[in-house]
Amino acid sequence: MEDTFRKREKGYEAKFKLEEEMRFKAASRRNKLLALWVAERLGMTSAETETYVREVVCSDLEEPGVDDVVRKVVKDCEERNVPIAEPELRAEIERLNAIALKQIGEEYPEPLGPDYGPVGG
């Protein structure tokens, strides 16, 4: 009986780990897509865009949620005199989040590592 509970617990842990990893990958992808969208609006060169993508993706590691990304993008846009209203930016983040989730789901349809066996099995 105890073995059954351990298997179930291990299955839940694996499921949680997989979901968190997918959520992180989707958030990073969303931020990359957002940075590309903003860079285009700011008229950045390809080299500037590449650097900017890294900056935006890394900015999301400062605190939970997207507020850190929003602050960075709004500040960057204001510095280049291309203001983007925060509601417009947040709407774009939501739109891109759905796209990122779909892309990540298509790219990683199977478990991501050997410690992920069948959930609950």
pLDDT digits (tens, 9 = 90+) for 37-84: 999 999 999 999 999 999 999 999 888 889 999 999 999 999 999 989
pLDDT higher than 50, residue 118:
no
> What DSSP string runs through the chain?
-HHHHHHHHHHHHHHHHHHHHHHHHHHHHHHHHHHHHHHHHHT--HHHHHHHHHHHHHHTTSSSSSHHHHHHHHHHHHHTT----HHHHHHHHHHHHHHHHHHHHHH--S-SSGGG-STT-
What average pLDDT does range 81-101 have in this prediction? 94
Banded pLDDT at 116 (limits 50, 70, 90) = low
Q: What is the pLDDT of residue 113?
A: 59
Give tens-digit pLDDT for 100-114.
999 988 886 665 555
**Residue-range domain boundaries for the chain:** 24-108
Q: What is the pLDDT of residue 61?
A: 87
pTM over 0.85: no
pLDDT higher than 70, residue 87:
yes
112 against 96, higher pLDDT? 96
CATH of 24-108, one of 3.40.50.720, 1.20.120.1200, 3.30.70.270, 1.10.790.20: 1.10.790.20
What average pLDDT does range 87-92 have in this prediction? 96
What average pLDDT does range 96-101 have in this prediction? 94
pLDDT higher than 90, residue 19:
no
CA 39 to chain centre: 17
